[in-house]
Amino acid sequence: MAKSLIHQHGIRAFSAQRFDASSRTSDACWVVEEETLTIDVEDIGAYTLMWTPTEPVAAPCGFTPEDGVLGRDGVPEALALAAGFAFTEGLFSSIEDIRSLAVCPDNRGLVRLALADPECALVRRRNVVVGSSCGICGGRERVEDVLRGIPPVGDTLRLDCTRLDDIMATMRQRQAVWLATGGTHAAAIFDGEGRVRVLAEDLGRHNALDKAIGQCLLAGIPLAGCGTALTSRITLEMASKAARAGLELIAAVSATTSLAIEVTERFGITLCGFVRNGRATAFTHGRRLRAGDVATDFGQLCKPLHIA
Dihedrals phi, psi of 260, to nearest 5 degrees: -60, -40
134 a catalytic residue: yes
The pLDDT value recorded for residue 304 is 35
Return the axis-axis angle of helices 258-267 and 236-244, rounded to nearest 10°: 20
Note the pLDDT of residue 144. 85
Helix axes 236-244, 77-89, angle to 10 degrees: 100
pLDDT at residue 134, rounded to an integer: 56
The CATH code of domain 159-307 reads: 3.40.140.10
* Euclidean distance between CA atoms 236 and 44, whole angstroms: 24
pLDDT of the residue at 125: 86
Say what the pLDDT of residue 158 is. Answer: 96
Cα 186 to chain centroid, rounded: 7
Q: What global pTM score does this model have?
A: 0.89
All CATH 3.40.140.10 domain ranges of the chain, comma separated, are: 159-307
pLDDT in tens, the chain (308 residues): 555 555 577 898 888 877 878 888 888 888 999 999 999 999 999 999 999 999 876 667 999 999 999 877 789 999 999 999 999 999 999 999 999 999 998 888 999 999 999 999 989 888 888 865 555 544 555 678 889 889 999 999 999 999 999 999 999 999 999 999 999 999 999 999 999 999 999 999 999 999 999 999 999 999 999 999 999 999 999 999 999 999 999 999 999 999 999 999 999 999 999 999 888 999 999 999 987 654 444 333 333 344 33
Find, among 143, 126, 128, the residue nearest to 235 by Cα.
143
Active-site choice (29, 134, 226, 272):
134
Q: What's the one-letter identity of residue 61?
A: C
Q: How many helices (H) and strands (E) does the chain have?
A: 7, 20
DSSP string of 180-199, one letter each residue: HHS--EEEEEE-TT--EEEE
From the list 13, 79, 21, the residue with the least C-alpha distance to 216 is 79
Is there a contact between 280 and 308 (Cβ–Cβ < 8 Å)? no
CA distances from 189 to 13, 193, 226, 294, 307 (A): 30, 12, 7, 24, 22
Please tell me the predicted confidence (pLDDT) of residue 56. Answer: 79
* Cβ burial 290-299 (10 Å sphere, 16+ → b, else e): bbeeeebeee
CA dist., res. 39 & res. 92, Å (int): 14
pLDDT of residue 152: 96
Task: Give the chain's end-to-end CA distance (angstroms, integer).
Answer: 49
